[in-house]
Amino acid sequence: MAFVKIWVHAVWGTKNRFPFLVNGVKQQVIQHIKENAIKKQIYIDCIDGHTEHLHALIALNADRDIAKTMQLIKGESTHWINQQKITRSKFEWADEYFAVSVSESMLDKVREYIHGQEEHHKKTTFTEEYNNFIGKYNFQNHG
């Protein structure tokens, strides 16, 4: 038996950064993602976001990589949102996402950051946050 726990901070946004996640939609989507994750055996430690994106702290195991995990989260939630007509127009997540590893010593700091999204985005736009992630994690040089 393999004992694997790899912590990942994942961030994904709506297509064209459209602010779909307003007026209670974000809470419905987050609740559904949490419920679906349990069914799919995806461990989401915490999840929150703002009007056009979500952050999640996810523990990967030996059975599933980040690409499959994100496909399951984003694909299933898109289908559910559209099936339930949660948004006025067709909902889509952007194809891209960020995912960075998190050490055990940084878990509380990442949790605090994720839970503080509403406050954080009173000062910083998602575009600024996006560009900060690109620079901080040197994504422009690594595909």
Per-residue pLDDT band for 138 (boundaries 50, 70, 90) equals confident
Residue 139 has what pLDDT?
82
Domain 6-141 annotated CATH 3.30.70.1290: yes
Put residue 17 in one of left, alpha, beta given phi > 0 → left and psi -120 to 50 → alpha: left
Q: Residue 14: phi, psi to the nearest 5?
A: -80, 155
Residues 5-36 have pLDDT tens digits of 899 999 999 999 999 999 999 999 999 999 99
Per-residue pLDDT band for 40 (boundaries 50, 70, 90) equals very high
Residues 52-94 have pLDDT tens digits of 999 999 999 999 999 999 999 999 999 999 999 999 999 999 9
Residue 141 has pLDDT above 70, yes or no: no
- 60 touches 6 (CB < 8 A): yes
What's the pTM? 0.92
Share of the chain above pLDDT 90, in %: 83
On average, the pLDDT of the chain sits at 94
Residue 2 has what pLDDT?
85
Residue ranges per structural domain of the chain: 6-141
